[in-house]
Every structure is written in C-alpha cells, then in structure tokens.
Amino acid sequence: MISIKHLSKTFRNPDGSTLTVLKDVNCDIEKGEVISIIGPSGTGKSTLLRAINMLEPPTGGEIWVDGENILAKGYRLDKMRRRVGMVFQGFNLFDHMTVLRNITYAPMELLKKPEEEARAEAMELLKKVGLAQKADVYPDSLSGGQKQRVAIARALAMHPEVILFDEPTSALDPTMVGEVLSVIRGLAKDGLTMLIVTHEMRFARDVSTRIFFMNEGVIYEDGTPEQIFGHPVRSATKAFVNRIQKLVYEIDSDEFDYLQIHTGLSRFCIKYNLADKMDEAYVLIKEMLFEHLRGIRPLTFRITHAELSGETALDFMVEGRTESPLPRNEAVERLRSRVKGLVEEPTARGFRVKLLI
C-alpha cells in the first residue's frame, strides 16, 4: 500500500550548514499492518512520518501510495492527505471549535459531506473513543487524554487508509496514557493500517505486526515484535530494547538529603509510568535506609526500571562486604512478604540487597 524507496531528507539551516536526518529509508507497508517505529530521539522518526504525509517534503527518493508516486510532479497532494491521517503528540485540535465541529470540519470542507451525515458519523466516532457526552464542549475543557481521543476520532472521520501517530501519548499525564493506548489497540483489532512512533515498548510489542528500529537516519533493523524485542540481530537494537533506566544516589551518612531522593524518585516514576509504584517505593526506601540498613554507610542506592519487562528494583549496594548487611529479624521477614522479591547477592565489589517492586 505504501512503498518507500531511498527516501532522504536534508535540512538546511539558516547559517547554510546542513543536517541529513533521513539517509536512505526503504520499506513496504501492507494493508492492515500495524507498525511501531522505535529508536533513540533525534534519529528521524518524526521526520519520516512528516515526509510520508508531505508536511516535510523529502529531498530525495520515492513514496508510493496505492501505486502512485506522491513525489511526482503534478500529483495532487490533497488526494494523499485524504488517504493518510495524522495524530500528533500535541493533539493540534482547533481550539475555537467544539469537539463535534473539530471532527466534522474536514469531512464537510474537503469531502463535501452534508452536515447531517457528517454529524451523525462524528457522533459514532465519539462513541467509539468514549466521548459522546463531550460533543458540544470546547477542547479547552478536556483532559490531555480526552483531547487525544478526539484527535483520533477526527483523523478517522476522513476514512484514511493509514493513520500516522507521532508519539501519541508522550505529552500526556501518565494516568491518561492507558485510555489513548486502548483506543489505538481497538483500531488495530479493526484492521486499520497504522504507523506509530512510540516510546511505549510494551505497547509496541503487544499491538504491532512489525517493528521498525530507527537509528542514524535509516531503518536499522525491522522484524516482528518477537524478533526485535526477543532476538534482535544488531547490537544497537539489542542495547536499545533492553535498556534499563537508572537513578543512583550515594549515601555516606545518616544526614543524607532524603527529600532530594523523594523528588528524584517522583520524576523517575512519572517519566517511566510508574506512578502506581511511587508511594510504596518511597516507604520502602525510607524503611531500608533508616531501619534495616541503619548505620551501614557508605552505600549506594539505585532504582532501576527495565522498560520492556516492566521490572522495577530498588538496589542497596555496600562495598567490601561478603555477607548481607540485612539483619535477621522479624521486621525484615515482614518486608520480604511485602515485596515481589528480595534478593541478597554478592557482587564483584561487595554485596547487594535488591527489592523487586
């Protein structure tokens, strides 16, 4: 349905210097495929989506949509715009129009749909995304998750053959990520063709038929979710999909700044969607540092989160020890029963107590 051949994009900066963001992108996208594009930031994922719908005309290569090269002279772009819908990170709703009007606008203006019909269909779409009761309000009064669901309904109203999503959940409060992802999951079940740039690795693994790992301006590796997440071939892919986020504190006395840890922990949990683990983590950290490991200083405290497996751990590491610094008492036994796992293990330089939460 879409075929991309040797696509390239070079930006020319005002000072005359250039930046080649897409080097040589090649891919074929079949009808019904759900492709997630993952990769480090700055590798051209957004630029690729924006090139496909000509918001950012490429500098070289070909894009074939339904057998027509949309970069050919004389190709009517509005034709392509009808076929290719886009959902942005920042929603881009029309703030001066009601929710319903946001959705009926393009079908009425571009497809010349009669108002009655456009409204009836918009109501159906609003039902589909769970927002029928919001038809007559302005976007201002909606939460981020609701705005994004309206943006999805608006894209669907044009009956596109493919929808491009550019990080549809990364501007959202973590509590709202789920509602948007579940709408997208529903569309995948309906068989809509989608290209989704996302940092939500587990979502990408669950919902996609194929994954593109973009790196250095090319599709560096592509395959099924099972291949890319389970058995990546190239080392950069492996490093990316298995990356572990970390936050580390050195604690050398009892006078350490635990409010600083609290702030760091909150930011970490919000960034990686761990809001539900935050309070418990903080209670455990305080309990470990002030009770079970009291007087055991210096120690290094680390919180780690493996995005793909979803495992979160609190590590307490003491150098130069061969035995666990945890006391053998009832309080520690109670702690053991409260966490998903408590691991005591020697390391190369000392000993580690790990709480899985």
Shortest gap between Cβ of 45 and ligand ADP (angstroms)?
3
| Assigned token pair, 216 | 């250095």
Residues 331, 337: contact at Cβ < 8 Å?
no
User: Applying CB under 6 A, does 198 fall inside the site for ligand ADP?
Assistant: no
Shortest gap between Cβ of 88 and ligand ADP (angstroms)?
12
Shortest gap between Cβ of 6 and ligand ADP (angstroms)?
18
Taking CB atoms, the residue at the shortest distance from Mg ion is: 46
Considering CB under 6 A, how many residues would be counted as binding ligand ADP? 10
Residues 352, 326: contact at Cβ < 8 Å?
no
User: Applying CB under 6 A, does 11 fall inside the site for ligand ADP?
Assistant: yes
Strands 193-197 vs 34-38: parallel, antiparallel or unpaired: parallel
Q: Which one of ligand ADP, Mg ion, none interacts with residue 21, CB within 5 to 8 A by kind?
A: ligand ADP
193-to-59, 142, 201, 247, 351 alpha-carbon distances in Å? 26, 27, 19, 38, 50
Shortest gap between Cβ of 233 and ligand ADP (angstroms)?
21
Which residues, numbered 20-79, are part of the site for ligand ADP (CB under 6 A)?
21, 41-47
Residue 350: in which H helix or E strand, if any? strand 350-356
Burial grade of 53 (CB within 10 A; 0-12, 13-18, 19 or more):
buried
Closest CB to ligand ADP among residues 46, 237 = 46
Strands 193-197 vs 162-166: parallel, antiparallel or unpaired: parallel
302-to-322, 352, 354 alpha-carbon distances in Å? 19, 11, 9
Shortest gap between Cβ of 286 and ligand ADP (angstroms)?
37
Residue with tokens 């090649």: 26
Which residues, numbered 32-71, are part of the site for Mg ion (CB under 5 A)?
46
Closest CB to ligand ADP among residues 21, 63 = 21
User: Applying CB under 5 A, does 198 fall inside the site for Mg ion?
Assistant: no
Closest CB to ligand ADP among residues 45, 305 = 45
Shortest gap between Cβ of 66 and ligand ADP (angstroms)?
25
Closest CB to Mg ion among residues 47, 104 = 47
Closest CB to ligand ADP among residues 44, 145 = 44
Q: Which amino acid is at 309?
A: S
DSSP 262: H
Q: Which one of Mg ion, ligand ADP, none interacts with residue 47, CB within 5 to 8 A by kind?
A: ligand ADP
The per-residue DSSP string of 30-78 comes to: -TT-EEEEE--TTSSHHHHHHHHTTSS--SEEEEEETTEETTSTT--HH
CA separation for the pair 326, 20 (Å, rounded): 54
Closest CB to ligand ADP among residues 49, 285 = 49
Q: Which one of ligand ADP, Mg ion, none interacts with residue 44, CB within 5 to 8 A by kind?
A: ligand ADP
Strands (E), 60-186: 60-65, 68-69, 84-87, 162-166
Closest CB to ligand ADP among residues 90, 341 = 90
Asked if omega into 298 is within 30° of 0 (cis), the reply is yes
Instruction: Out of 6, 18, 19, 333, name the contact with ligand ADP by CB under 6 A.
Output: 19
User: Applying CB under 6 A, does 191 fall inside the site for ligand ADP?
Assistant: no
Shortest gap between Cβ of 219 and ligand ADP (angstroms)?
12
Positions in the binding site for ligand ADP (CB under 6 A): 11, 19, 21, 41-47
Positions in the binding site for Mg ion (CB under 5 A): 46
